[in-house]
Amino acid sequence: MPDAPEEPTEDSTVDDWFGQNAARDQDLADELVDQEGGDLAAAEARFEEEAEGQETYEAGHPRPEDG
C-alpha cells in the first residue's frame, strides 16, 4: 500500500509545495476554460482574479528586506 502524500506544515520550507500550488492553478485554468466555453480571454481574466498559487508561494518565501 503506498504511503499517504505528505502535507506541508507551518514551518515547512520544502519548495515542492510550489509544484502543488502550480498544479492547483493548472486545474483551475482548465476548469475556467471549460466554464467559459473555450473563451480563453474570459478564462484568463477570471484566472487572474481566482488563482492563488503565486501568492501562496510568495507568502511562504518572503523576499529579504532591502538594507
Segment 8-46, tens digit of pLDDT: 566 555 556 777 878 888 999 999 999 999 999 999 999
> Average pLDDT in the 37-65 region?
81
Domain count, the chain: 1
Range picked from 3-12, 27-36, 50-59 for highest mean pLDDT: 27-36
Domain boundaries, position 45 = 16-59
CB-count exposure of residue 64 (10 Å: 0-12, 13-18, 19+): exposed
Is residue 36 assigned to a domain?
yes
Is residue 48 assigned to a domain?
yes
How many CB atoms neighbour CB 51 within 10 A?
Answer: 18
Is residue 6 assigned to a domain?
no
Q: Tell me, what's the pLDDT at 10?
A: 61
